Chain A
Amino acid sequence: MLQFWWKLKRHLTWKTSEIRDILITILAVAFIFAYDDKQPVFHFNFWLFNFFKHILIVGLCVMIYDLGHKVSSIFMNLTSEYKMWSVGLLIGVIIAVLSKGKIYLILPGGILFHHWTVMRLGHFRYGLNYFTTGLLAAMGPVFLLLFATFFKTIALFGLSSDLFNRITFIFLYFAIFAMLPFPRHDGAHLYFANRNWYVIFLFFLIGYIFLYKLHFYSLIFAALIGLVVWLIYYITFEESAWAFG
């Protein structure tokens, strides 16, 4: 554990290009969420205030998402680098403008993994491998889900519940879109690593949102939904897909 803290202290850094990508992502995603300020009449000052509020929320969201990747990657002796998907972000902005902010399409991008040669020396499965990178990629959305649960709990206590409900909504929305198997997204890493784990993680998130809509906030039941959907998926598709005999 001490070695892990030492590694975090020494290697938890961001490149200049990564910071630029994160900032552009924050601005674009905040614009998408803040485009419709839900006011009957447009007031520029109010819109700007709403936009800054969303920059802070999305900034927190992207930082937690990226920290989830970085911390778990360092734990596994790999390094990760955030890369935005500029086309995806532009498509999201176009859809927001066209739909007057009613439809949020968040295609932020994802991560690249680098092999940390010195720290991986002597490890079984020495190099980068699909399963490890897939699970590490899923850690970003999982971190977001855990923090969303935390913020929802605060909202349930009645402390600035509007703000914390909005934060929870944005965190869950971001996590779901990050898990879609699009280029560079976390979902693509996990999908190509292992379809079974992909189904479990995706429906863990979807299950939590489903329960959230029913005002039933439980990570355990969400995980159970993920497992049940995986079982159905395995019986209906995966088992027959691998039955070569």
Chain B
Amino acid sequence: MLNKNIFKNKKASGIGFWDPLENWAEIPALLLLIVGFIIALWSRSAVVTYIVIILCGIIAGRGIKVRQYVHKIAYTVVIIAFLIGFSLGSFYGKTKFILVLFIIGCYIGYVLHSKEWI
């Protein structure tokens, strides 16, 4: 049975049951989930969906390179939220293709930035 007092017990965490400063990664994750959903809804064909997800993957790959030593988990949470939002909103592309193309895009972005080509 759920102990309802857990939500009232503000002493446990110091501020409240959900501290936005401590759990800040969820806020951009939620935003990116919505952005991913809107972008996927906006793309009106499977080809556009795949092109867009590759480009998003390149951006995410750059982020992975930039944040390879800091905030790795938070960044991963944000990327996963974006992918979930995008998959939910894409009516024209297949989810497994989206996932594969996103990973390919990430790899391209990572290599381009790790080799300092862009």
Contacts and interface: CB of A to CB of B under 8 A. Distances in A.
Chain A partners chain B: yes
Given A86-B62, A87-B62, A94 B56 contact: yes
B59 interface: yes
Interface in A91-118: 91, 93-94, 97-99
A94 B59 CA distance: 11
A94 B62 contact: no
Nearest to A84: B118
Nearest to B43: A98
A94 B118 contact: no
A97 B59 contact: no
Contacts of A99: 42
B52 A86 contact: no
B48 interface: yes
Name the prevailing secondary structure of the B interface residues.
helix
B26 to A, nearest CB: 22
A98 B52 contact: yes
Given A24-B118, A98-B39, A98-B42, A90 B55 contact: yes
Interface string B73-95: 00000000000000000000000
Contact of B59 (A24, A84, A87, A98): A87
Interface string A63-90: 0000000000000000000001011001
Nearest to B53: A94
Contacts of A91: 59
B58 interface: yes
Contacts of B52: 94, 97-98
A176 B31 CA distance: 27
A132 B15 CA distance: 45
B99 interface: no
Most buried by A among B56, B58, B62, B118: B118
Interface of B: 39, 42-43, 48, 51-52, 55-56, 58-59, 62, 118
14 contacts: A84-B118, A87-B59, A91-B59, A93-B55, A94-B39, A94-B52, A94-B55, A94-B56, A97-B43, A97-B48, A97-B51, A97-B55, A98-B39, A98-B52
